[in-house]
Structure 1
Amino acid sequence: MSRPGITRRLRHGIVAALTLSSALTFAALYAIGRHERVQAFEQALSDDLRTIGNITQVYPGDDVYVNVEPESLSQYMQGGTRFFQVWDTQDGELLDRSLSLEALDVSIPRPGGVTTTPRRFGGRLPDGREVSWTVVHVRAHWGLDEAMLKRTRQTIEDHPVDLLVGRLSHELDDALTPLAWACVAGALAMPLVAAVALAGLVPRALRPLHALGEAVSVRSSDDLHPFEAQAVEMEPIVQRLNELLQRIAAARERERRFLADAAHELRTPLTELHTLADVALLDPAGSPGHAATLAEMREVSRRMARVVDTLFRLSRQQRADEATPRRRLSLGAVLQEAVQAQSPALAERGLQCRWDGDAEVWIDADAPMARALIDNLLGNAIDHAPAGSTIELRRHDGAAGPALSIVNACSTTGQAPPRHPHLGRGLALAALYAQVLRARLAAGREGDRFEARVAWPDATEPGATNT
């Protein structure tokens, strides 16, 4: 199962946070807007009480009714959406009601506990419509002006009445519905807009991280220079990466010092051993057995000297500040030179070398180092080959390109190189050669069977060019 990437986590986290934030924000906005609209509806009911109360009048004969002018208060007429009803406070007699109630043939029951403080309650008309009612105790004033009363010598007292006014509840619902839809749309649109914006902004913000990854991927294993942070947030990562490079550089420096110190320590005694063996061979008085031993000592010292020279060469060429010289080489020519150099050893063991290939291969490599690698592998094949057998040099075409295979007679054609914990004489140095040459080496032995395969990543056919 693939692990989620930083970009995906960042997008999901930001969108989730924005979704929650927008939901809370628009919920709060809806609560505020709803409160304002409810207050406006309550104020409208209070205004209706004041309007109807002002036109509820008492006339001579204690006649009380609401003096409605149809032109200005058409909502209370037949088919209207506003209602009123008036009772006598003392005996509860119904004094007047709006034409909108008369048209429905509806009389609202008088509520109890009416005071001078308006009280709101809900109800339902016979046709199913919800109504918000408000009831209050008021005093009906004179329906005639004071001058007329004096002229007619009449006296009219204020009459206490209970006044009920109402509006359809859907007026509040109609005001709240657009507000609710607007808040829902805003809560959904904000995360969507943010997701679209983040689709471009998040990759742009992560460009320094991708740039660091590209810089690491193209960096050579020999280049240990520190990386630079392209963003403040990346400084801890880059700092840890540079600390790792410093530790790697220190480890490589210790390895190079070890190689150089070992070579310096071994060169002097080996030179002395070689000199003593040469002097002993010049003594004609020595016995044949003694001379053979000295000759073997000289051969051993020469081999050890080659090992020390190899250590010196690897110590120099593994330094980060020294580039390995590379040039175009013919692998066939390098093999031919190596076989000619090993001809005395081949003749002594009665061995033959056979090239099993029909095409030339060209490589970009350091010529002495490539020759040293081929000499090392060919020497191992000679050491493990039975007397009188054949050593085969084969060319293979693999997925990574042409490769060279060195096999003694005990190997089976097409069989993979044997894996063995002991690499054989000098194969550890051969691995170092391959590392410097940036070649892939697979080698091993089992008994007398030996096989090695070397592949260069930039090997080409004749006439081909590297890109």
Structure 2
Amino acid sequence: MRIRTRLTAWYLAIFSLVMLLYVCGACVVQYWQLTDQLFHEEVEDMETVEGLLYFTPSGQLELNESYHSRPENKLIIDRLMEVRGSDGAVLFRNPQLKGAALGGLPRPGEFTDGHTSWTLRLEDGRHVLGVSHRHPVEGKMLFLRVAYSTDPLRRRVVTLFGLLMLVLPLALIPAGIAGYHFAGKILNPLKAMARRTEQITARRLSSRIPVENPDDELGHMARVLNGLLQRLEESFAQLQRFTSDVSHELRTPLTSIRSVGEVGLQRSHSHEEYRDIIGSMLEEVARLTSMIDTLLTIAHADSGAIRLDRTVFPIMDLVDESVNVVGVLAEDKGQSLVVKGDRGISVHADRGFLRMAVINLLDNAVKYSPAGGTIRVVVEARTMASPRDAVYLAIQDEGPGIPAGVAERVFDRFYRLDEGRARDAGGAGLGLAIAKWSVEAHGGEIKLESTPGLGSTFSVQLPVTAETASAG
């Protein structure tokens, strides 16, 4: 069932319920008004009757009916009347009662100076509304009861209820049409949003849904959808850049392998020359394998499939291992690696992934520092403004530095300041991206401070956890 139809059905159901409550309320009010009117008429009739009672010479109580000019008066015909003496004995009953009692013996508090109303169901099933009052006649205190049947009132209210219920379905027809029309007007912006969304394809992700009223629910939905489109557009653009970069990076070593192989097949070579050719091809294969492994690591990280195996260990041990790995490259360039830090500092982290981050940062420093330069590594504990302290690791190089405008992009995948120089150095532009992910996966933060011509400093801050604090 369409939303418009459901809204109309709900509107009609609520409208019908409200109208039914209104009809019931109107009938109740009508019945109350009729009974109130009947009560006042009974009080007036009681005052009239009290003046018409008299005792005959034999002591019999009678009612002077000749007072009424028209005995067929409705009040006279329907009047039910009973008079009792002070001892409770029945002194008078009119014929309309047909011998039935009108309430029995006087009840406590029934007969006072005022008029007391009450309801009663007679033995023959009639419902009556009565009035009680005491009144002296010829020196004797009498207890009078005058009542009238409420059955005519009930029939009148039931008739009114039936008429209103007959009119109710007729009122639902225009109400349903109006509700269906207004539901359509309310849903028209939603239809427009749906049509606009259907026109958005992978090639038109820059399109946005217009927001007519940002403060209502539809405006909120439009903002949410626009935010989703914005994220999709950014993801598609990132995916396209990633695909393009991967294709480019895979093409370079494959082309190199092919070129070396074709040159080797052009003529015969000595045993040593073949070894050099195969060695060059294996270098490119190793580079290609390393890049594929890195891409797999990034893919697993993006999908959330990687789970950190945290342990507590001294961070200086990890720094020493990383320096030993990168030290060979530094020696080839005549560079010095200076490590300074507190060996009592421990971290709660995944040793393998954190080691990968430190090696990538050291490798980056070695690549971009000049021959004979010095690379400094500092490890210390710092008290931060936040509730937790942090372990601080800084790697400072003497490279050319990074311009401020591109400092944030160095952590992007495949980003390189100097394409030719980076590729010659064997970089694919993934090391810093891996380092950033590893640090952030541990709840830490990585920053870059660089001055063109004076070198760069990559700093890592790792939070001190409860496990680390207890170990320390």
**TM-score bracket for this pair, using the shorter chain length:** 0.3 to 0.5
Larger Cα Rg: Structure 1 or Structure 2? 1
Question: TM-score, structure 1 length as denominator?
Answer: 0.44
